[in-house]
Structure 1
Amino acid sequence: MQATEKTAASILRKRPVGATKTKEDNVPPLVTLRLDSAVSISTSASSESMSNDVGKVYVPPPLVNQTSVLLVGFFIFILATIYPPLILLLAYMASKLIPYSFRVNDDAASRRRLFADFTKQDDLPDEFKQLPSHILLEESYWVNSRGMALCTTTMTPKHKPIRAVVCFCHGYTDNVSYMKQIEYQRLVDEGIAFVAIEYEGHGRSDGSLGLINDWNSLIEDVSSFFQEISRARFSGKSIFLMGESMGGAVAYCTYNRIPHVFRGVIFVCPMCKISDDMLPPQWVVNTLIWLIGPSGSTSFLGYLPIAPAKQNVGEVANKLEEKRIINGRAPLNYERNPRLATARELIKATQSISSSLSDFDASFLVIHGKDDRVTDPKLSQSLYEESKSKDKSLRLYDGMWHGLTSTEPDENIDLVFSDAIAWILQRS
């Protein structure tokens, strides 16, 4: 591809060294990552099938079909006939459920617009508004095989050679557009490039906020993007996976899909299994899975954020309240119960992972806070003990919670990154 060639859906946004945040007002909804003057990635499909996806437009399926609407109308008619006051009860329930289930940042276009406005605020952390002069940040959109634009972030050292590359998998309802860009500069300071992609339904990527309809599709997106960018931009470099929380499960599955790409994996409080404290009774789980259908199915019920949860994840995950508030300010956050379809996919994924730990053979470092109440540190211990890997390490930190890289005291975060960086550089 010529350096001057432009496509209807490609743009590269590089933030100049030391510059403030780039405005997103005019960023088109579908863009691709132009890696350099000679290489452009257009979709997550293989090279053989890429041409078939050019110009493909994503058409989202309806959440509610005509039959469902007619059935609801008929049900209301029957209730009104039998006992009219029931209509008032239904109206009250709807007045609670509808505002809770549908928020202004649920669709990707609104999230992008809201985040662009958010970045203009004067009281944001200085580290976010002004990048260090030695770091180059590139943000762009990459189009997957389903025609969805997924937001990507790359940070590289400006004045030193790249010693290694970390492909980062973020956690459930998290993003890489805000505070992660600050905390993970620690890697770039040591010459380690940072690459990340926000999953469907997360951050500024396409999809309904917090909705995971198909775990396998998520893994396919992540695997395809990391494989393509590793080959196109970081060929010959030592590539590592790093995953936090649910991102640990994503990293686990991504490695198993394309093990030849990575030298090793770093798990940060990985979601090998959802803590029993966070799960409803098993009979509730079984009933919900039966109601909303199999993986990949789209339904209004699966969209609803009403999966039972015993605790508020944000409150039990983040130790320092002031940091939790800073992280929670961005309009990319999801502060509700899990959507039913998402809960189904997370439960199925963790059940599969916890039953296959003995087959995992990657070189890995697993780090976990002993006081984590979101993901179970005992399962990290099980991963370490059961894995057949010949190169594995375990770090358990006394007194630390779930948010090891973001909401712990700075000295704790520094310790976590120091251990991770040392492990990476020893294998690069």
Structure 2
Amino acid sequence: MAAITTKEQQVVVNYMSEELQTIFLSNLDEAPARRRAREAFKDIQLAIDHCLFRLSSDGVKTKEVYEVNSRGLKIFSKSWLPESSHLKAIICYCHGYADTCTFYFEGVARKLASSGYGVFALDYPGFGLSDGLHGYIPSFESLVNDVIEHFSKIKEQKKYQDVPSFLLGESMGGAIALNIHFKQPAAWNGAALIAPLCKFAEDMIPHWLVKQILIGVAKVLPKTKLVPQKEEVKDNIFRDVNKRKLAPYNVLLYKDKPRLGTALELLKATQELEQRLEEVNDIFHIDLLFSTI
């Protein structure tokens, strides 16, 4: 199947069977529905005509796992490992807001694994294939702790204990990676942060009065999708027009307005992060490609 050539999801729907259309247009708030959608769309996604999906998986061993974490949530994770070459290091990936580790990152992970790196990623609670209300972050700190718990179990395995480890964080994942460093200042050899969410652009923050109203409503209705946004999620996340055209294929992408509780947690997280950037340990080598979303 060729890559999408228009901005509208209807073009994608035209390619689908009636069953796939039903899944595509259904409510994906809960994890079981998202998992069914992913299984139905997996073959379609792998057939996309784009460099990230055309990368060969030869010599790369992949594994998908569901595990229940200490909070009782079923967490989806995936790994990409070189089958025969010496393992240079492990890279633990933190995906961005609204996203999943099973779409665009697939090609990046294959490339890294074919170059000798072990790559590990997970879907956060409330995103992708993991348990939780879609797009809802009740506590940013708890989310960070969930990621630490998952990656720590990997790093504690004997075969990885003497291997250098690095964090790779994109957008909100960059903020998560920095918070992981604050909690584990000596645990990582470095990080690469791609457009880390360290601060919201001023034009993305509602007027002061609107923000106060939203804060008040969020105390009662934190899961409500009321936060105003000028652009669609895919337009905020993907600056590359070609990636935007492919976004409808990412059926696990959270496409609705941000939930009130999530928006406030992210705003609070960025405000705290702004105050703590000077605490980043000099030993923790960071490549800051951008400083705002």
TM-score by length of 1: 0.58
Give the match for residue 88 of structure 2. 163
Given that 2:45 and 2:249 are in contact with CA atoms closer than 8 Å, whether structure 1 keeps it comes out as no
Give the match for residue 217 of structure 1. 142
Give the match for residue 229 of structure 2. 309
The alpha-carbon deviation at position 122 of structure 1 amounts to 8.1
Give the match for residue 28 of structure 2. 105
Question: Structure 1: how far apart are the matches of 2:45 and 2:217?
Answer: 47
The residue correspondences of 1:297-336 to structure 2 (distance < 5 A) are: 301-336=221-256
The alpha-carbon deviation at position 229 of structure 1 amounts to 0.7
Given that 2:194 and 2:289 are in contact with CA atoms closer than 8 Å, whether structure 1 keeps it comes out as yes
Alignment RMSD: 2.1
Question: Structure 1: how far apart are the matches of 2:239 and 2:82?
Answer: 31
| 2:286 aligned residue (364, 367, 370) | 364
The residue correspondences of 1:346-385 to structure 2 (distance < 5 A) are: 346-361=266-281, 362-368=284-290, 376=292
The alpha-carbon deviation at position 144 of structure 1 amounts to 1.5
Question: Structure 2: how far apart are the matches of 1:267 and 1:365?
Answer: 6
The alpha-carbon deviation at position 169 of structure 1 amounts to 0.5
Given that 1:277 and 1:310 are in contact with CA atoms closer than 8 Å, whether structure 2 keeps it comes out as no
Question: Structure 2: how far apart are the matches of 1:183 and 1:204?
Answer: 19
The alpha-carbon deviation at position 176 of structure 1 amounts to 0.7
Give the match for residue 265 of structure 2. 345
Alignment pair present for 1:247 and 2:134: no
Give the match for residue 197 of structure 1. 122
| 2:43 aligned residue (120, 144, 147) | 120
Structure 2: which amino acid aligns with 1:311? E
Stretches of 4+ moved more than 4 A in 1? 126-131
* CA 1:106–1:307: 2 relative to 1, 3 Å: same
Count of residue correspondences? 264
The alpha-carbon deviation at position 115 of structure 1 amounts to 0.8
Given that 1:280 and 1:310 are in contact with CA atoms closer than 8 Å, whether structure 2 keeps it comes out as no
The residue correspondences of 1:143-154 to structure 2 (distance < 5 A) are: 143-154=68-79
Question: Structure 1: how far apart are the matches of 2:45 and 2:246?
Answer: 14
The residue correspondences of 1:261-276 to structure 2 (distance < 5 A) are: 261-276=187-202
Question: Structure 1: how far apart are the matches of 2:171 and 2:37?
Answer: 26
Given that 2:46 and 2:53 are in contact with CA atoms closer than 8 Å, whether structure 1 keeps it comes out as no
The alpha-carbon deviation at position 179 of structure 1 amounts to 2.2
Structure 1: which amino acid aligns with 2:97? Y
Larger radius of gyration: 1
Question: Structure 1: how far apart are the matches of 2:232 and 2:88?
Answer: 39
Structure 2: which amino acid aligns with 1:164? A
Given that 1:165 and 1:195 are in contact with CA atoms closer than 8 Å, whether structure 2 keeps it comes out as yes
Question: Structure 2: how far apart are the matches of 1:338 and 1:249?
Answer: 17
* CA 1:366–1:261: 2 relative to 1, 3 Å: same
Alignment pair present for 1:283 and 2:206: no
Question: Structure 2: how far apart are the matches of 1:211 and 1:122?
Answer: 25
Question: Structure 2: how far apart are the matches of 1:117 and 1:323?
Answer: 21
Question: Structure 1: how far apart are the matches of 2:113 and 2:241?
Answer: 27
Question: Structure 1: how far apart are the matches of 2:263 and 2:45?
Answer: 37
The residue correspondences of 1:40-51 to structure 2 (distance < 5 A) are: none
| Higher relative contact order structure (alpha carbons within 8 Å, sequence separation ≥ 6) | 2
The alpha-carbon deviation at position 292 of structure 1 amounts to 1.9
Question: Structure 1: how far apart are the matches of 2:54 and 2:41?
Answer: 11
Alignment pair present for 1:235 and 2:155: no
2:156 alignment partner, SS class:
helix
Question: Structure 2: how far apart are the matches of 1:234 and 1:326?
Answer: 35
Question: Structure 1: how far apart are the matches of 2:54 and 2:76?
Answer: 19
2:289 alignment partner, SS class:
strand
Structure 2: which amino acid aligns with 1:211? Y
The residue correspondences of 1:57-68 to structure 2 (distance < 5 A) are: none
The alpha-carbon deviation at position 259 of structure 1 amounts to 2.4
Q: What are the Cα deviations for residues 60-102 of structure 1, in whole angstroms up to 9, with x where unaligned? A: xxxxxxxxxxxxxxxxxxxxxxxxxxxxxxxxxxxxxxxxxx9
Question: What are the ranges of 5 or more consecutive residues in structure 1 without an aligned counterpart?
Answer: 1-101, 294-298, 369-374, 377-401, 403-428
Moved more, 344-353 or 309-318: 309-318
Q: What are the Cα deviations for residues 270-303 of structure 1, in whole angstroms up to 9, with x where unaligned? A: 000111121111332233223322xxxxx5x211
Given that 1:279 and 1:308 are in contact with CA atoms closer than 8 Å, whether structure 2 keeps it comes out as no
The alpha-carbon deviation at position 114 of structure 1 amounts to 1.0
1:261 alignment partner, SS class:
coil
Given that 1:279 and 1:309 are in contact with CA atoms closer than 8 Å, whether structure 2 keeps it comes out as no
Given that 1:278 and 1:311 are in contact with CA atoms closer than 8 Å, whether structure 2 keeps it comes out as no
The alpha-carbon deviation at position 310 of structure 1 amounts to 3.1
% identical equivalent positions = 31
